[in-house]
Copies of this chain bind each other. A is one copy, B any other.
Amino acid sequence: MRELTVDLGERSYPIYIGEGLLKEASTYFIKHGISKKSPLLIITDSRVAEYHLESFESELAEAGFQTASVIVPSGESSKSLSMLESLVTKALECGLDRKSAIVALGGGVVGDLAGFVAASYMRGIKFVQVPTTILAHDSSVGGKVAVNHPLAKNIIGAFHQPELVLYDLNTLQTLPPREVSAGLSEVVKHGLIWDAEFAAWCEENAEKLLALDAEALGYALYKGCSVKAAVVSKDERENDLRAILNLGHTIGHALEAVAGYGELLHGEAISIGMVGSARLGLRYGAPEDVYTVTKRVLAKSGLPVRLPDHFDVDKIMDAMMHDKKFSEGTMVFVVPTEIGKVEIKSDVPVQWVREIVEQLKLEVQP
């Protein structure tokens, strides 16, 4: 079992990573002050509920917790204000009070949604994250929670730190291979922006990770969470440093916006985006290996490094123009300067970006 602390002063919290933690959840809940006197509400989705809800809930109930649970449809569409209203109805019906906790059992969607319920119910109650995907290692650090608006993703939200994060590696065993790779995308990103040694480790251990080897996964999630925690500790409210976490995201978000529904997972889109950022790094004079290593580690992790032909470059550029990171004639980008180091460039010529997006269609698998 590995443990790390996200250091945020009064709002600091621990992340536990290990096998079988769900079976001991009550011990951790008690240790971190989750009340048995007030009911707690587990929010999960249909896919996760099938595998884990019953055993998780009964372990807590046996230990004396008053639990209730609600299953939302899996997928981004559950992150809505109408779902928030339904969940608050459920919280009221179950008698949740100021000392209650909301528990997110699931991936990023469940974490974002349940976290915003916890942030806003009675102006904020306790929140526990129990991530069940690799990708969720990213959202389990930093306290960003939100729902979507029809016109914009994650636009209605809060910063709400959990009391603890309980990462049971066993829950990852049922992930489909494509989601494993997509989750590794953010893991690799944390190496690329902060820790060259870890990036190299990701490349060497890609096969083990794809095979869901528990020891390798535990280490990768521990390192991924640690990098994010280091960044967030220095910049909780996203003023400055935290922007480096967006490596690959400007292009990636645009690809997600343009792609047909379900065509690209978030991790896949930012994988292609990170290759683009690496190419941009070369333009700014970064050594060649910024590009070759980035591409190789992503490809070994089972991720796409080439933009499929049918994507329309104009539409991608338009989507980026609507992105918050754009201002006249130039764009803001996170650009690698070497493996493990990035810089924010706020004057990237739009023309360079277009050329790189076009080039992305010509990338070959390493």
Residues of A within 8 A of B (CB): 81-82, 84-85, 88-89, 92, 97-98, 119-124, 144, 146, 149-152, 155-159, 237-238, 324
Q: Check if A92 sits within 8 Å of B158, measured CB to CB.
A: no
Which of B119, B146, B150, B155 is the one whose CB lies under 8 Å from A158? B119
Residues of B near A84 (CB, < 8 A) are 81, 156
How far apart are the CA atoms of A92 and B156 in the complex, in Å? 11
Task: State the oligomeric state as a number of copies.
Answer: 2
- Best-buried of A123, A156, A157, A238 by chain B (most CB within 10 Å): A123
**Binding site of A, secondary structure by majority: helix, strand, loop or mixed?**
mixed
With A81-B81, A97-B324 as contacts: A120 and B88 at CB distance below 8 Å: no
A127 to chain B, nearest CB (A): 14
Beyond A85-B150, A89-B150, A158-B158, 10 extra complex contacts between A and B, CB < 8 Å: A81-B81, A81-B85, A88-B155, A89-B151, A92-B151, A92-B152, A97-B324, A98-B324, A121-B155, A123-B159
A84 to chain B, nearest CB (A): 7
Q: Which residues of chain B are near A81, meaning CB under 8 Å?
A: 81-82, 84-85
Minimum CB–CB distance for A199 against chain B, Å: 29
Q: Considering the complex, give the chain B residue whose CB is closest to the CB of A116.
A: B120
